[in-house]
Amino acid sequence: MSRSARRADGPRLDDMIGEPPATDEPPSIDEPIVIPAIGPGGSIYPVGKMDAHRRGLQHLAVSVFIFSGDEMLIQRRAAGKYHSAGQWANTCCSHPEWDETPAAAARRRLFEELGIDLKLTAGRIIDYRAEVGGGLIENERVHLFSARTDRTSLTLAPDPEEVSETRWASRAALGNEAAATPDAFAPWFRIYLQRWTELGL
């Protein structure tokens, strides 16, 4: 999917562009991946992905939830991930790149991580903040997306650099697992399970 095509998927972010907050340390964009951080009044400005996580800057993110019946597809993050490695999370989580809409990012990353191409429905937007290890902080304004499918006809092709394992489970079962073994689950996924009714899924 071309970058120009991604920009056309959903409202453009250009009208939201503003200035970063005034700080002694200006945000860095000298990184391979630049994402939209959130400034005063909800405006956005570019920041390097790692810089945003090291400094706990609020930024845009996407989370995808794929359901079959009453079960949700979850993934175990690969051992080489830069944070929360080996932990279970929802179907897909990521960040829009600087010139990309949340809708385009959700569809792109779902395909890159799991080989799935489904029509996604945009849902609510929530904020959360969580320490994710290694001195990194996820301070996100998350655009939620979901889809329903028949798991028997869904073919998964996980990228081993992103995903080590997948499975289907009900929200109730996952809530019990996360309560019993919290370290097995990514911090944001535990937050999602605790705030499930707010997600509107």
- As averages over each run of 10 residues, the pLDDT of the chain (201 residues) reads 38 51 59 89 92 95 98 97 95 96 97 97 97 94 98 96 98 97 97 97 93
The pLDDT of residue 40? 84
- Spatial distance between the Cα atoms of 60 and 139, rounded to a whole number of angstroms: 9
Residue 180 in contact with residue 81, Cβ under 8 Å?
A: no
Residue 90 in contact with residue 192, Cβ under 8 Å?
A: yes
**Of 158, 130, 126, which is closest to residue 143 (Cα–Cα)?**
126
Please pick, among 92, 93, 100, 113, the residue that the annotation labels catalytic. Answer: 93
The pLDDT of residue 26? 57
The pLDDT of residue 41? 86
CATH number for the domain whose boundaries are 3-199: 3.90.79.10
The pLDDT of residue 20? 56
Residue 140 in contact with residue 128, Cβ under 8 Å?
A: yes
Residue 76 in contact with residue 163, Cβ under 8 Å?
A: yes
Is-above-0.75 flag for pTM?
A: yes
The pLDDT of residue 116? 96
- Spatial distance between the Cα atoms of 61 and 58, rounded to a whole number of angstroms: 10
Please pick, among 31, 131, 140, 161, the residue that the annotation labels catalytic. Answer: 140
The pLDDT of residue 5? 36
Residue 71 in contact with residue 49, Cβ under 8 Å?
A: no
Residue reference for tokens 């990184």: 31
Q: Is 140 a catalytic residue?
A: yes
The pLDDT of residue 27? 58
Q: Which residues contact 88 (CB under 8 A, 6 or more apart)?
A: 74, 75, 76, 77, 184, 185, 186, 189
The pLDDT of residue 42? 87
User: Is the dihedral angle over the CA atoms 40, 45, 48, 50 positive or is it negative?
Assistant: positive
Residue 50 in contact with residue 59, Cβ under 8 Å?
A: no
The pLDDT of residue 62? 98
